[in-house]
Amino acid sequence: MPTSEDVSTKDHSAVRNRSAVRSLLRLWPYVRPVRVRLFSAALVAVVASCLGLVIPLVLKWMVDGPIADGDKGGIWLGALYLLLLGIFEAGLFGFRRWLVARPLAGVEAAMRADLYRHLQRLPIAFHDRWPSGQLLSRGTTDLMLLRMFLAFPLTFLLVNGTTILVGFLILLMQEWTLGLVLLAPVVPLVILCSVFEAKYSLVARTAQDQVGDLTTVVEESVLGIRIVKGFGRHRSQALAFRALAQRLRGTELGKARLLAGIWALIMVIPEVAIGAALVLGTVQVADGHLSTGTLVAFLSTALALRWPVESIGFLLAMSQESATATERYFEVMDTKEETADTEAPAGKGAATGGGSDGLRFEGVSFRYPDAKAGSVPVLAEVDLHIRSGETMALVGATGSGKTTLTALVPRLHEVTDGRITLDGEDITLMPRQRLRELVSVAFEEPTLFSATVGENVRMGAESADDAALLRALDVAQADFVQDLPRGVHTEVGEQGLSLSGGQRQRLALARAVVGRPRFLVLDDPLSALDVHTEALVEAALRRVLEETTALVVAHRPSTVMLADRVALISNGRITAVGTHQELLRSNAEYAWLMSGADAEGEAAPGAGSDTGAEAVEGSMR
């Protein structure tokens, strides 16, 4: 699975060539609904910031007027003006905060909802490649960064830029020679900020990807805590976590060094310019070419511009982090969803429709999307017909393609060539919702959710009533549910780990049969059951299989006996089809698989097949 070094390595070269502005502009569709309040908040902030520039003008009036004339009333009046300006400025900034708080929370919520919805529609191949921690960090940390960017840096890049422009106009109007002294650092500052932006964007991207890696390790450790404890791997897991944490720490320190460097330069260069202006202004006051009030106002304005100038480094850093967060978000959002329901892949025939033809595989081949060109396909030219109402067992050695073949029926993967039909209708021409109402599945790994027993089972048929729920639990021999604290209303916990493997498998089977599906696909549904429970489940399952068309992956003779016929799959191809007894007597590989012989300790397929058949027949008596 990809990590920060392979999911996004390709993006590090792209970061050098991309524009942060262009990346952030992709947020516009989410921002557009709240643009009025955001623009209003920015306008309010600009007015509030520019009010701060009026204060030096009031000081100039006070120094050259009431203070110089000894007018105490004028001094108190000036103090009142300053107080009112300060209160009004603070009130405007508070109003700005109120304007943006609610809409930006809505923007974050909308983006998170879109991401979650999109993840549900992405093909299984995507989820096979991407670590869950990388996806979690994009849906949490990255979106929080974007909300903070829209609330603060975005606004204040505009506010501070406007403040600096207005401030320098005031400085030049007061004394243009001193104003030029303060303008001198602009060129070196622009160059420094450009270099900083290029370097910081790379480090910010690396840090965000490493957070995703760290999240993956934490999640896997929590979900696999039984393995960690069972094998005493606390130390190795802690060391792995520490290594990733140290790597992230190093990256964050690199970010801090870059930010400290640019901030130091942004602070020092303007300070030097202000010092030079102070010396030059003092000389002009001494020579009588400049009034004391003008010098006070000039220096006060220059000092008022310190924060807008010094904050540039901080705002650029947050903007770069937000740009990389935007890229990470849209890396997922730009991934193509499963093909639209109305589109038929090239080369697919139209649906024949009608009738009760059952389930057909016609020349089906499959190769994973990320497989190398020319590689051997997982499935090749599979032709198989499961008649309507029939149960077909699918048998094969590990890695022969059984699970992959069953995953093609509900379109968890798309066939590479050929087609699959249900009662004569090509599944690629069906809306997915309808297809997955017709086809119900139970996977080998019985995944449960943090919900009640009833909610987990009803995922197989949302409209199932209580009677259908109890019937499904009865078929799956899940009578243990009645002994739970709240029966079917008991929360099973994350991944259903509060239950045993056999209990989870029975609930997964109940989920598959609760909706009485027309087509049923079961991937070794009884592997975790003890012999006695397996016999009870098989007896109940026979009744269900009589009402449906089923494909059942089987590894044991007892499961095979549920089927009307058996298909043997070997190296991605169907090599034999017949009844259990027919294949036992005619196919050496099948007899070997059913005998339970070890490939290294027993006869290989093709040798001693009669002995294998006799052993299996004996075990079934």
Q: Is residue 507 located within the same domain as residue 614?
A: no
| Domain's final residue, options 333, 349, 382 | 333
Q: Is 182:302 a contact under the CB 8 Å cutoff?
A: yes
Q: Give the closest residue to 158 by CA, choosing from 22, 19, 51, 46.
A: 46
In a domain, 2, yes or no: no
Give me the CATH number covering residue 559: 3.40.50.300
Mean pLDDT of 16-23: 68
Q: What are the counts of helices (DSSP H) followed by strands (DSSP E) for the chain? A: 26, 10
Q: Is residue 93 located within the same domain as residue 127?
A: yes
Give the total number of structural domains in the chain: 3
Does residue 82 or residue 324 have the better pLDDT?
A: 324
Q: Is residue 306 located within the same domain as residue 414?
A: no
Mean pLDDT of 246-265: 87
Helix (H) or strand (E) run with residue 349 in it: none
Q: Is the pLDDT of residue 583 over 70?
A: yes
Q: Is residue 493 located within the same domain as residue 513?
A: yes
In a domain, 3, yes or no: no
Give me the CATH number covering residue 147: 1.20.1560.10
Q: Is residue 477 located within the same domain as residue 584?
A: no
Give the separation between CA 302 and CA 294, rounded to whole angstroms: 12
In a domain, 530, yes or no: yes
pLDDT grade for 217, boundaries at 50, 70 and 90:
confident
Neighbours of 277 (CB within 10 A): 23
Q: Is residue 541 located within the same domain as residue 595?
A: no
Q: Is residue 572 located within the same domain as residue 616?
A: no
In a domain, 59, yes or no: yes
Q: Is residue 262 located within the same domain as residue 155?
A: yes
pLDDT at res. 55:
77
In a domain, 340, yes or no: no
Q: Is residue 130 located within the same domain as residue 188?
A: yes
Task: For residue 238, give both structure tokens.
Answer: 């802690």
Q: Is residue 570 located within the same domain as residue 590?
A: no
Domain that holds residue 593: 579-621
In a domain, 314, yes or no: yes
∠ CA 410-415-416, rounded to 5°: 165
pLDDT tens-digit map of 427-447 = 988 888 888 888 988 887 778
Mean pLDDT of 506-517: 86
Q: Is the pLDDT of residue 498 over 80?
A: no
pLDDT tens-digit map of 289-298 = 878 878 888 8
Q: Is residue 410 located within the same domain as residue 503?
A: yes
In a domain, 344, yes or no: no
Mode of pairing for the β-strands spanning 549-553 and 391-395: parallel
Q: Is residue 310 located within the same domain as residue 440?
A: no
In a domain, 462, yes or no: yes
pLDDT at res. 363:
92
